[in-house]
Structure 1
Amino acid sequence: MKGSFATRVAGSSDLYKVNKRKPYHGINFVIAHDGFTLYDLVSYNFKHNEANGEGGNDGSNDNFSWNCGCEGETTDNNIKALRSRQMKNFHVALMISQGTPMMLMGDEYGHTRFGNNNSYGHDTVINHFHWGQLDARRSSHFRFFSELIKYRRKHPVFGRENFLDKKNVTWHEDNWDNYESKFLAFTLHDDLGGDIYMAFNAHDYFVKAILPSPPHNRRWFRVADTNLKSPDDFIPEGVPGIESTYNVAPYSSILFEAKP
């Protein structure tokens, strides 16, 4: 899966690099209008469509989801923290990928349909937009999603005109064929030296990442670490003091920027 993930992050040239198409001709998404919301993707292993009146026979049975240890709502703070981290990881992957990102309205505050993956017929709480929940999460979940969108718009390395080549990206990998490997790290190169280092750790243990040397007269600043609590999980101007290695937490992702 790691190689496939890298291909998608790089803009899916295997699908779109034909007929003079550009990376932005491809639409990247984790969630669409059909299926689970982003919150439900990390909260349910199975669909829960009883409210649709079809005996649970409607909707897809292949949801590619993981409930993080408990089906549906829970009071377990460890599971809730993991779900929050996973939602941020998905958003990071979407926003740093080459191509045009597409989000589902409501994912910016963590909307749930309570596991219903075929909710089009409901004019109820399942589909209503919950402004109160957005306000309650404005300084945490919503802030992370919003700031990352702004960050993408300010950094052209995430939306190049042409597909990536060896001058644009360095993959810090020698383990592509190991299907047990769930760690991916790479550097997106900026023409002016503002390189971006990214790492995704889908293992259930820490990975000590050896960081590449930043460009001349630059040093690494930590912009994002989804394992940290808000507001430390995303600091647009970055935090200095990054050493030559960094412990990437289980089920987390990081983003470093090279700055003077």
Structure 2
Amino acid sequence: MSDKKKILKVLTKNNLEELIDYIQRNNIKLKDLNNSNFDVLIYSIEKTLSNAIIDFVISNCEYNNFNYTINVENWGIKAPLFSSIAKNRTTVSKLLLSKQADINYLNGKLFYYLYDHNFLKKDIFKFILKKGYKIQNVTDISSKLDSDCLDVLNQHLLKNNKNKSNTNVNNIYITNNNIHSKFNSNYATNNNNNNNNINNNNNINNNNNINNNNNVNSNNNSNNNKSKKIEVEIEIKIKIMIIAIKLILKRQIQI
């Protein structure tokens, strides 16, 4: 068995203590396994290894950039964020995004990667839109979506449209075959225009109040999420340190 296979065998046991012990005893650097068609981080993500091991791999391999690809035979390109999203590993995906992984990397190829490899599902599609994936061709993308994902896309487009303008909002809806837009008619009567103006003013006031409340809630949620993320990262690092210390003490006792 080759050294690489031995290391990967230990890695896939999903036991952080055993992995650290093996690496230290054999003076191994995981990043030495990386090449143009293999990457330890992508491998660990796709093998659904624990978040603690993912964090250890990132640290041990000393990654400083997560916008890169490998080229796998009979598959094509892979990227860390593509793999974590495809595997629906939300925590890992958020970690990579926090480390500047670009969700629009390779000019938005993520959507087509998910679609081509049959990973595109409602919750995954909703996640990438929420995290800032930019749709460059609505017609092309909508033609590839099932009804559940189309609903997600409709909601996303309507939300974005309302954010751009509080008045004269278009009711956009998409089907598998066509994209339709319902625009406010230009031949409304003066009375209707007056009523619309009154309603629009009321809506603007209501929207402003809602937006203010949402901003407060958003800030609170953002702070809470940051605190939780920091707590998780600290917990993982402490766990790794404890394991390393135990291994050192264990060796000293054996000596």
Superposition TM-score tier, normalisation by shorter sequence: under 0.3
Which has the higher relative contact order, 1 or 2, with Cα contacts under 8 A spaced 6 or more apart?
1
Relative to the length of structure 1, the TM-score reads 0.23
Relative to the length of structure 2, the TM-score reads 0.24
Report the structure number with the largest CA radius of gyration.
Answer: 2
**Larger helix fraction of residues:** 2
